[in-house]
Amino acid sequence: MTYEQTIMQIIVNGGDARTSVLKAIRCARKGNLEEAEQLKNRANESLERAHEIQTKLIQAEARGEKSEMTLLMIHAQDHLMNAMTIKDLSEEMIEEIKLRLALETKIKGGD
C-alpha cells in the first residue's frame, strides 16, 4: 500500500466513524437505542482502524523513517480528530437522550 493509500484509509475510517455516530444520535432521538448502540460500535471499530494506521505512521517516523507532510496528511489528521470529538460528544448526547426517554416513560406511567 502506498503512503497516499495509507493516509486515505485514515480519512475513510474517520469519515465512516463520523457518519455512524451522527446516525446513532438520530436513532437514539427516535428511541431506537439498540440500533444507536450498534452504530456506536461500528464507529468505534472504524476509529480503532484509523488509529492503528496513525500509530504505525507515528512509529515509523519515530524510527527515523521520515514521511512528507502533505495536505492529504493534514486532512487525514483533521478528519480523524473531528470523528473522535464527535464520537465523544455523541456519547454524552445519547446518555442525555436515554435519561429523557426514561423520564418520559415514567411521566406517562410506564414505569
79 is catalytic: no
Active-site annotation holder among 29, 42, 51, 75:
75
d(CA 11, CA 95): 27
Burial 2-37 (b: 16+ CB within 10 A, else e): eeeebbbbbbbbbbbbbbbbebbbebbeeeeeeebe
Q: Write out the catalytic residue numbers.
A: 75
